[in-house]
Chains A and B, each alone.
Chain A
Amino acid sequence: AQRVTQPEKLLSVFKGAPVELKCNYSYSGSPELFWYVQYSRQRLQLLLRHISRESIKGFTADLNKGETSFHLKKPFAQEEDSAMYYCALSFFQGAQKLVFGQGTRLTINP
């Protein structure tokens, strides 16, 4: 079965420090991986997806098929990065039927 694991429920780092949110997935086919973010009192929104290979708000994520991982990274954390982050996997081609991890709450300390 398809599964997404985010091992850290909570992650706290200081402003300016590097951030890495871990995501591992279980799927035998060719997945599409996403990171969604929910800021305080806002809706869940897409942060980035692996097929775009882009950097959004300084965040990047590389799909590592050998390690079945899609970790989210940012070299220098900012206070506005504090939010709930969800890694998600789409295995159904042609529709956004997503399997989400349980999320990591990131807190950036001043």
Chain B
Amino acid sequence: DTGVSQDPRHKITKRGQNVTFRCDPISEHNRLYWYRQTLGQGPEFLTYFQNEAQLEKSRLLSDRFSAERPKGSFSTLEIQRTEQGDSAMYLCASSGILGSEKLFFGSGTQLSVL
């Protein structure tokens, strides 16, 4: 499968622990996006990168959240001191650099905070 891959698929953690998710985009894609989806809702934009530069962060992304894309390839999303409200599906997507290129989504990482 040469699509967007995310790891792990599922993560269960205790409140207060730190978690890190990884996303590998389609190799020729310059842009990488993180979205969050809670039950019964559509995905919500969190942040995006163009190559290694993080160009925008949503106000949804509190100080406990940090994302990196160190070499412009894979990306990590870390949540520190997790809270039960962080439980959600975290989706990664990638696209080319032209304005209206479509997003290719990964299968997501389902986070459950106990």
Q: Is the CB of B103 within 8 A of A96?
A: yes
Cross-chain contact of A43 among B31, B102, B107 (Cβ < 8 A): B107
Interface string of B74-106 (1 = CB under 8 A from A): 000000000000000001010100011111111
A44 / chain B contacts, CB cutoff of 8 Å: 43, 91, 105
Cross-chain contact of A97 among B3, B45, B102, B106 (Cβ < 8 A): B45
B103 / chain A contacts, CB cutoff of 8 Å: 46, 96, 98
A62 CB, min distance to chain B CBs, angstroms: 18
Tell me if A100 is interfacial: C-beta within 8 Å of chain B.
Answer: yes
Tell me if A63 is interfacial: C-beta within 8 Å of chain B.
Answer: no
A34 / chain B contacts, CB cutoff of 8 Å: 102
B57 CB, min distance to chain A CBs, angstroms: 11
Once A100-B42, A101-B42 are accepted as A-B contacts, the answer to whether A49 and B105 lie under 8 Å apart by CB is no
Interface string of A83-110 (1 = CB under 8 A from B): 0001010101111111111110000000
Once A51-B100, A94-B99 are accepted as A-B contacts, the answer to whether A102 and B45 lie under 8 Å apart by CB is no
Q: Is the CB of A103 within 8 A of B42?
A: yes
Once A44-B43, A101-B42, A102-B42 are accepted as A-B contacts, the answer to whether A96 and B105 lie under 8 Å apart by CB is no
A91 CB, min distance to chain B CBs, angstroms: 11
